A = this chain, B = another copy of it.
Amino acid sequence: MQQSILKKMISQSKIKLINSLSKKKFRDLNQLYIAEGEKLVLDLIQSSVEIKWLIAQSSWLSNHTIPSELEIIETSDQYLKKISQLKTPPPVIAICKFPSKKLEDISMRKKLTIALDELQDPGNLGTIIRLADWFGVENIICSNNTVDAYNPKVVQATMGAIARVNIFYTDLQSFLSQQTQQGTPIYGTFLDGENIYNQKLSTDGIIVMGNEGKGISSSIEKLISNKLLIPSFSQNIEVSESLNVSTATAITLSEFRRNI
């Protein structure tokens, strides 16, 4: 069926390389990450993501039409178990190349962009990438100390959205300073901000979301031009101190988009 090279076995050196991809250091070194599971891999195959190896069960391969240019490694459950990072190994795993787009090639003009200041939880980053995809946000700019987007837990949580959103890591303070000089509005949510529901929100700009525990750091707060507040509607004075960062991002993006 496929024209591509079929191999019955996956070499020990490949297994070693793939296992090393659970660590950021080796992902960066090899510029590769791992994506597991049928739905996610099928999404990635249809996307612009470059797949280095597609590793799958024979039965899965015979039931799916795979683009002929892909390098396929046909293997057994036994080997899938050796390379999978999930409890139950999936029938198919893709080893993907890091995207080649650079932050300096991207314009932030006339677009809504998300910036993440030291976000730590892989599940939150995955959810925010999925929200960006849903709300048509092309680019996410992460501070260098934000959790790695190619962490397998993040890749899994994005449900394929990682293929459709550009994610960059940079010195966030320098990046936002440059954007400020270019007149880009920079938004962030704070307890002393202006009620988001009463604001005229722009169709472009950067929305900064902060760390799960500490919020937006003081060095970044100085660069925020528009402080917003998502008000609580509770009658209870002991209401939760704040929304979690994923739900706050959902509400903020919804408010920016509904105004268009």
Using a CB–CB cutoff of 8 Å, the interface residues on chain A facing chain B are 43, 46-47, 123, 127, 130-131, 133-136, 159-161, 164, 197, 230, 232-236, 238-241, 243-244, 246-251, 254-255, 257-258, 260
Contact = CB atoms under 8 A, between A and B. Distances in A.
B236 A164 contact: yes
A47 B239 CA distance: 11
A233 B136 contact: yes
A238 B197 contact: no
A159 B251 contact: no
B246 A136 contact: no
Contacts of A127: 244, 246-247
B238 A46 contact: yes
Given A43-B238, A133-B236, A136-B232, 13 more contacts: A46-B238, A47-B238, A130-B244, A134-B240, A134-B243, A159-B240, A160-B240, A164-B234, A246-B246, A246-B247, A250-B250, A251-B251, A254-B255
